[in-house]
Amino acid sequence: MRRLFLDANVLFTAAHNPEGKAALIISLGGEGILQIRTSAFAIEEARRNLAVKCPTAVKQLGEILKTATIVPERPDASFPPDLIEKDRPIFQAALAGKATHLITGDTAHFGSFMRRPAKTFGLVVTTPAQFLDSL
């Protein structure tokens, strides 16, 4: 079974747009088709951004998290050497949490790693749309 680690921006998008692709991934997790994982770091970032940009969606984030397994941060876990520091906790938690995929909308920082598992210790980094297209 595919184990998906969701970045903060995917959590934000799923809470903000319950009809979108990020929300569909959450729904597939709720149906037991996928395993959904995230970290406290990602949750806090999503919650903080929702509180500022779309406070009415904070409650929806809580609903989304009912389908997710929260994995611990692992600052000692590996990461690609050219990954910027602020994104390392997300990558490290995904890797340490044994995710098969890191789902992110952050193409600015993760773009060079997208669908290149040889650069990411076997972890497939992809956008929600790319992941759904691969099913």
pTM value surpassing 0.85 = yes
Tally of structural domains, the chain? 1
Residue 4: per-residue pLDDT:
99
Query: Which residue's structure tokens are 């409650």?
Result: 59
Q: Where residue 34 sits, what CATH number does that domain have?
A: 3.40.50.1010
CB within 8 Å of 81: residues ≥ 6 apart: none
Residue 60: per-residue pLDDT:
96
CB within 8 Å of 96: residues ≥ 6 apart: 71, 72, 73, 74, 77
CA dist 120 and 123 (Å) reads 5
Residue 1: per-residue pLDDT:
93
Backbone angles phi, psi at 104, to 5 degrees: -145, 150
Tell me which residue range forms the domain holding 10.
3-134
Residue 36: per-residue pLDDT:
98
The sign of the CA dihedral 10, 57, 18, 16 is: negative
* Stretches in the chain below the pLDDT threshold 50: none
Nearest to 72 by CA among 109, 104, 42, 113: 42
CA dist 29 and 35 (Å) reads 5
Residue 79: per-residue pLDDT:
92
